Amino acid sequence: MTKAATVGGSEEVIAVFHEHERFAVTSHIGPEADAIGALLGAVHILKGMGKRVFPVLRDAVPDTLRFLPGAGEIRAPNEVPHEQIEAWVVVDCGQLNRVGESFLPLIERHPLIVNIDHHQDNPRFGHVNWVVPLSSTTMLLYELARQLGVEISPDLATCLYAGIVADTDSFRNTNVTPDTLRVAADLLERGARAREISVNLYERRSLAELKLTGHALLRARVEDGIIWSSISQELFQETGGGLNDTERLAEELRAADGVRVAVLFKELPTGKIKVSLRTKDTDGRGLDVSRVARVFGGGGHRQAAGCLVPGRLEDVEAAVLAEVRRALEDAHRHTL
Ligand SMILES: [Mn+2]
């Protein structure tokens, strides 16, 4: 049995899970392993309690995450019997609009939204909120399963473990705590398929992704501890790559020796620029990139954040880099 500390504050979530029979569970657009792992985790738990559950996502499950047990049952918003749903469980969404704008009106009118999340700046948009800044949202689902006495099967363990691996960047970020490892160890004991998760998460890169990575690394620039690169629409077209082929690129940039911050700019067909920020902070006290992202209406975590900025690529680059420089100077001043 694990000795991981018990996480409090779940009483209302547990009450809702007990008191209702028909649930829909959803997560954010551009879903990654913590979003889908937490969504499926909630589905397994509710099913384990004998409830009726509808798993829903606005976006399709990425190919590399279809191995997660239950992923094949996830439906599009228009396939859900909305009038039957007694409670919406929204997981891993730092904001409610992260479920997708077209989908938002269907959910936000609902009288019972349960918000389960680990993003620190979550505005507690639910009627019931359980927001704890653990390493992953799946850590919260693990805790729920334990508190509800639902058995953690190898399938459920695999979903939960995948979220931890993804959101800690394979146990490399400063959000890894002793409890992260205790929970991970317990999930392994319960049959989480760790190697299958690693291969699916890290060893299924498309040729387009590798080409985009190559181009972006070639054009990367370094100045004052900041490394940055950009991908224009032209480059997306030339390589045949899409936005989801750029997910790991900011981390590749950050791997450069001597840099503290990596910034990747991606030009979308809409004319907006998607900005990804990463820090190479070793002690959790350096630059908080989510603060930079928030200046531009975005958000995220200390070490990984992002924002969507309207404007020309060069202009957005200049504005964001200026803000990163300012934030680095601030962080430097605070440590003096
Ligand atoms: Mn997450």
Write down the pLDDT at residue 2.
Answer: 52
Identify the bridge partners of residue 230 per DSSP, sorted by sequence position: 265
Centre of ligand 1 from the C-alpha of residue 192, in Å: 18
Round to whole Å and give the CA distance between 36 and 68.
8
Q: With beta carbons less than 8 A apart as the criterion, state whether 241 and 248 touch.
A: no
The yes-or-no answer to whether 11-202 and 207-335 have a common fold is no
Q: What would the CATH number be for the domain defined by 11-202?
A: 3.90.1640.10
- CATH class of this structure's domain 207-335: alpha beta
The structural domains of the chain, with segments of one domain joined by +, span 11-202, 207-335
- Residue 305 CA to ligand 1 center (angstroms) comes to 12
The three-class DSSP label of residue 267 is strand
The C-alpha atoms of residue 91 and residue 72 are separated, in whole angstroms, by 18
In angstroms, the CA 34 to CA 61 distance is 12
Q: How far is the CA of 238 from the centre of ligand 1 (A)?
A: 32
CA of 122 to the centre of ligand 1 (A): 12
Q: How far is the CA of 134 from the centre of ligand 1 (A)?
A: 9
CA–centroid distance, 118 to ligand 1, in Å, is: 7
Q: Would you write out the chain's pLDDT as a tens digit for each of its 336 residues?
A: 556 788 989 999 999 999 999 999 999 999 999 999 999 999 999 999 999 999 999 999 999 999 999 999 999 999 999 999 999 999 999 999 999 998 999 999 999 999 999 998 899 999 999 999 999 999 999 999 999 999 999 999 999 999 999 999 899 988 999 999 999 999 999 999 999 999 999 999 889 999 999 999 999 999 999 999 999 999 999 999 999 889 889 999 999 999 999 999 999 999 999 999 999 877 767 789 999 999 999 998 888 999 999 999 999 999 999 999 999 998 877 766
Report the separation in Å between the CA atom of 205 and the middle of ligand 1, taken as the mean of its atom positions: 21
pLDDT at 336: 60
Provide the H-helix boundaries in 111-248: 137-148, 154-167, 178-189, 194-202, 207-218, 233-239
What's the pLDDT score for residue 206?
Answer: 87
Per-residue H/E/C for 94-108: CCHHHHCCCCHHHHH
Measured over the CA atoms of residue 70, residue 72, residue 76 and residue 79, the dihedral's sign is: negative
Q: Alpha-carbon distance 77 to 84, whole Å? A: 13
